[in-house]
Structure 1
């Protein structure tokens, strides 16, 4: 990696804080950075498709990237994950699982490390401790998908919306973190519905005194009423 010392140190400190790499020795992490290429991806771009991620592994240093499936026949989009700092993709490429049809869109200006899949596999063989971390990371993503499928299949849209809001709320205050700045279209894609339906239910929540909406920000005004929508105290 041919970059300045300050930038190199930033990448190293970011990776060492990640649960995927915090058990990796200094020399090994340095080797990983040496086979990496840094890129800046601008907001509102769809840079990658599944054929690209089959051969290149990516580590998200900073920013936000949407992983989604698009059904061109029905013109419907379903968001599977919102990747944030220290997330990686695509795990499938490391497991030789072939191509799976998902796409990636940059929601915020993002800084990414790119590494050829073949070199990552060689590096992992020399650092077997990392397999345990990658397995735990994969299990976490599978668990998220499992809960998502259950929610979409068994819950109505108001409950799904309430769950999304609750799960992404900073519990120490009344402000949001993960969904801050997302459009109603993006929120709809996260809960398996359309922008129009999201608009209607957010308006209903507003009229019920649950939340307030300003430009690019949703504020919960009554957390107890939001919890009542879920019928539980914790999600």
Structure 2
């Protein structure tokens, strides 16, 4: 296992940047860090035991981690959401104390704070202001899931792919970030389609001069044309 990159001081700075901890003093954050153990997970580390989050709460300090559901009969995988530094899991298990059927896999080398679930609950009980922030996090994730379900039901692949690119685009640099270096398999899972269908859509966008892909870097060449792929009542 790789050596943890963050010192306790670095972990404190990382927690200070997370919105749910904005009202928490440094001493109380250091107490939380004292309850935790840093873990480094190499790229493609999988957490396949869904009972893990019954006992541990995780805060992402470095890297990207995908949360996904998996159908063992069909072998199909659906990405529920991507997590970045500052995200945490699993809030549902933390709040309700029941097993949450989600799996996790690191997209990059990652570092997390691992906190025993009962210590996390006891710490929250002493800092109840954090509960509203956790509820807001759950609500935001639910709203995104609702939007994704609506897109899958109502929109075609072209529209879903255009929205994915725009939602992850740095307009100033005309490039896609956060999902920029994901494989086509992962991009396809994010919009609920197959790699073959996504590849065809990428070729269409390339032929229309909308984007260019080199070494997994997605560059947007014609933003107005990309935006036009989304119906005006959805953009």
Task: State TM-score, norm by structure 1.
Answer: 0.94
Number of aligned residue pairs: 232
Instruction: Compute the displacement of 1:32 (Å).
Output: 0.4
Which secondary structure does the structure 1 equivalent of 2:15 belong to? helix
Alignment of 1:160-171 (within 5 A): 160-171=160-171
Instruction: Compute the displacement of 1:100 (Å).
Output: 2.4
Alignment of 1:199 with 2:213, yes or no, is: no
Which residue of structure 1 lines up, in the alignment, with residue 56 of structure 2? 56
Which residue of structure 2 lines up, in the alignment, with residue 123 of structure 1? 123
CA separation in 1, counterparts of 2:216 and 2:81?
20
CA RMSD in angstroms comes to 1.7
- The range that moved more, 171-180 or 81-90, is 171-180
Query: CA contact under 8 A between 2:69 and 2:102: conserved in structure 1?
Result: yes
CA separation in 2, counterparts of 1:234 and 1:211?
21
Alignment of 1:38-187 (within 5 A): 38-187=38-187
1:117-137 deviation digits (Å, cap 9, x = unpaired) = 111000000011111111111
Instruction: Compute the displacement of 1:68 (Å).
Output: 0.5
Instruction: Compute the displacement of 1:50 (Å).
Output: 1.3
Structure 1 unmatched ranges of 5 or more: none
Instruction: Compute the displacement of 1:232 (Å).
Output: 3.0
1:100-158 deviation digits (Å, cap 9, x = unpaired) = 22100000010100001111000000011111111111111111111111111110111
1:14-41 deviation digits (Å, cap 9, x = unpaired) = 1011101111112211110000000110
Task: State TM-score, norm by structure 2.
Answer: 0.94
Instruction: Compute the displacement of 1:96 (Å).
Output: 1.9
- The range that moved more, 167-176 or 56-65, is 167-176
Structure 2 unmatched ranges of 5 or more: none
1:20-69 deviation digits (Å, cap 9, x = unpaired) = 11111122111100000001100012135311011100000010001111
Which secondary structure does the structure 1 equivalent of 2:136 belong to? helix
Measured at CA, do residues 89 and 138 of structure 1 come closer, stay the same or move farther in structure 2, by a change above 3 Å?
Answer: same
| Misfit runs of 4+, over 6 Å | none
Alignment of 1:210 with 2:210, yes or no, is: yes
